[in-house]
Amino acid sequence: MYTTKDLSREYWKGSAGRDSVSGKLTAGVRETEPVVLKQNLSELQSIIDGEDNTDRGKEYLEHIRKLLKDRKVPELQEEYSNEALLKEIHYELKAIREVMMAFSTGDFSPDITARGVIPGGLKTLQAHLRHLIWQAKMVEKGDFSQKIHFMGEVSDAFNGMILKLNESLAELREKEQKLKESEAKFKFLASHDPLTGILNRRSFIELANIELAHASLRDIQCCLAMMDIDNFKRFNDTYGHPAGDKALRHTVKTIESELRKNDFMGRYGGEEFIFFFFGADEHVSLGVLERLRKSIAEKPVPLENGHVQITASFGLVNSATENSKDKDYINKLIKNADAALYAAKREGRNRVVLYTP
């Protein structure tokens, strides 16, 4: 009986193969051991030809079949432990099994040390899958430019997914932009007067409270003023409410062109408007209001039948006239400014009056 040791490479010389006539195995061998090699070669030939009564060849094939199909790796029988070729096949197939089982669970990290067509194919697959995983992570981070071109149907599916993601992302961005625009529009409508576009009463008071708090902490003077268009009811009765709306918009446009950068105004109600002058004492605020009064009087309202002059009266109050710690601070300032406004009306309209405690 031969052993693999008898057929190990140290006995081989030259080339091995089959005789072209008989089909028998032939080999170049050392001249010092021709008898042993010829005998082992003859026994191996008999295994291949099915002439070995021990059926060892069938046992080898059965072991290999189990390696390929059985869930559990078969043990290498002790009697075959010295068979180098079978041992090599056993451990290489076992290693390939382990790699493939790892792949089947999503683990593509095992090192593939075996050589040959199958291990080479696994290495290529492993490289592709690792790269695909990297690209998927890039997509997770927001990079939707990733594409693959090396995995056939997988490439088509991946690239199609990226295309759909890009389209969905574009749609979401468009919807988000529209939502932001709608939100900004609703916020504007909620905080501004729909006719004139300036702050409504609620928003004006909220902003004025914030500015007054800042001014109080930094010991900065501020002033607040009320304005009323003179004889506005008569204007509406004479020219109609659409003309009255036009007069309100015209007045606001005239005023905004004269206000300082830190000043702001709001519509208090009807033809009444309210102003806040940050960092301005009585002298500065009176100067601003006088400019506004003159501009309104000098710029008549353009109507279909001609231009109609309007005038306005103002009441001014210094924020220092009330206690800033009072919970009704802003309301008291508005009340005082309103009192000065009515004083301007009583004194003949088209004028500015400063509130004095």
Summarize pLDDT for 151-199 with one digit per residue, the tens. 888 888 988 988 898 888 889 999 999 999 999 888 888 999 999 999 9
* H helix runs in the chain, sequence order: 34-48, 56-69, 84-104, 117-140, 153-191, 201-218, 232-239, 241-256, 282-298, 329-346
At residue 313, what are phi and psi to the nearest 5 degrees? -115, 150
Residue 256's pLDDT is 95
Residue 88 neighbours by CB under 8 Å, 6+ apart: none
Residue 352's pLDDT is 98
Residue 45's pLDDT is 54
Residue 155's pLDDT is 87
Residue 219's pLDDT is 92
Q: Are 224 and 333 in contact (CB under 8 A)?
A: yes
In sequence order, the β-bridge partners of residue 266 are 199, 274
Residue 140's pLDDT is 87
Euclidean distance between CA atoms 36 and 32, whole angstroms: 10
User: Which pLDDT tens digits describe the chain residue by residue (357 residues)?
Assistant: 434 444 333 433 444 444 444 444 444 444 444 444 444 445 545 555 554 545 778 888 888 899 899 989 888 888 777 888 888 889 889 999 999 999 999 899 999 988 889 999 999 999 998 988 898 898 888 888 888 888 888 888 988 988 898 888 889 999 999 999 999 888 888 999 999 999 999 999 999 999 999 999 999 999 999 999 999 999 999 999 999 999 999 999 999 999 999 999 999 999 999 999 999 999 999 999 999 999 999 999 999 989 999 999 999 999 999 999 999 999 999 999 999 999 999 999 999 999 998
Q: Reduce the DSSP state of residue 237 to 3 states and report it.
A: helix
End-to-end CA, the chain: 128
Residue 10's pLDDT is 40
Q: Are 216 and 275 in contact (CB under 8 A)?
A: no
Q: Are 123 and 116 in contact (CB under 8 A)?
A: no
Over pLDDT 90: what percentage of the chain? 55
Euclidean distance between CA atoms 91 and 64, whole angstroms: 11
Q: Are 354 and 286 in contact (CB under 8 A)?
A: yes
Please calculate the CA angle 249-253-258 and round it to the nearest 5 degrees. 150
Q: Are 119 and 97 in contact (CB under 8 A)?
A: no
